[in-house]
């Protein structure tokens, strides 16, 4: 009869033990989560460019959208040193693309579907002429390269 009484006592305590275990696990999870940083104020953008991707005649290229670069193939993008630049890439041909300016540590994420876009913001931190290009294998060689000119 004693073993049955011990079994009954264990069964009576089981829900409380499970509740205690769940509370301990939740407490451990709560302390493991880092607090979110306060949102940073967005930097003011001084100049914006939009490029769309295109392909024709076995070549790949960027085409400027809007303003002085509208319709220009692989346009020269001109900014002043210290300006905050926003560069948007719109995929217009359905192949994967990105845009890179290595010397300024600029690299967008890759966009693979027609109509998808990606935007990068950066500071024109040094003067000079810098190539921008698509880093997908073979795309730069096929013509996807332009020039970013930062005047001082």
Share of the chain above pLDDT 70, in %: 72
- Regarding whether 62 and 9 lie in a shared domain, the answer is no
Distance from C-alpha of 27 to C-alpha of 36, rounded to nearest angstrom: 18
Give mean pLDDT, residues 33-46.
Answer: 58
Q: Are residues 25 and 58 in the same domain?
A: no
Residue 80 lies in a domain: yes
In this structure, is residue 42 part of a structural domain? no
Provide the number of structural domains found in the chain.
Answer: 2
pLDDT digits (tens, 9 = 90+) for 48-58: 999 999 999 99
In a domain? residue 69: yes
The answer to whether residues 53 and 126 belong to one domain is yes
115 backbone dihedrals φ, ψ, rounded to 5°: 90, -15
* Residue 122 and residue 51 share a domain: yes
Predicted confidence (pLDDT) per residue in 124-141, tens digit: 999 999 999 999 999 999
Residues 75 and 107 in one domain: yes
Query: pTM for the full model?
Result: 0.72
Q: Are residue 129 and residue 90 in the same domain, yes or no? A: yes
Condensed to tens digits (0 to 9), the pLDDT of residues 73-95 reads: 999 999 999 999 999 999 999 99
Q: What is the pLDDT of residue 28?
A: 47
Residue 40 placed within a domain: no
Domain limits for position 28: 1-35
**Position 110 in a domain:** yes
Domain assignment present for 65: yes
Distance CA 49, CA 61 (A): 15
Model pLDDT, residue 43: 74
Report pLDDT for 6.
55
Residue 49 gets the label, from left (phi > 0), alpha (psi -120 to 50) or beta, of beta
**Cα(84)–Cα(34) distance, rounded to whole angstroms?**
31
- 78 with 143, same domain? yes
3-state secondary structure of 1: coil
Q: Which residue has the higher pLDDT, 148 or 11?
A: 148
């Amino acid at each position: 009869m004693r073993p049955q009484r011990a079994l009954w006592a264990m069964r009576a305590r089981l829900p409380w033990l499970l509740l205690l275990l769940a509370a301990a696990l939740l407490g451990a999870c709560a302390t493991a989560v880092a607090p979110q940083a306060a949102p940073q104020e967005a930097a003011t953008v001084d100049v914006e460019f939009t490029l769309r991707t295109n392909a024709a005649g076995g070549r790949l290229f960027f085409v400027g959208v809007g303003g002085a670069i509208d319709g220009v193939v692989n346009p020269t993008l001109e900014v002043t040193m210290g300006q905050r630049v926003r560069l948007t890439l719109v995929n217009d041909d359905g192949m994967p693309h990105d845009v890179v300016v290595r010397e300024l540590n600029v690299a967008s994420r890759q966009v693979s579907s027609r109509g998808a876009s990606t935007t990068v913001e950066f500071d024109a931190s040094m003067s000079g002429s810098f190539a921008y290009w698509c880093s997908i294998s073979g795309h730069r060689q096929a013509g996807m390269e332009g020039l970013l000119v930062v005047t001082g």
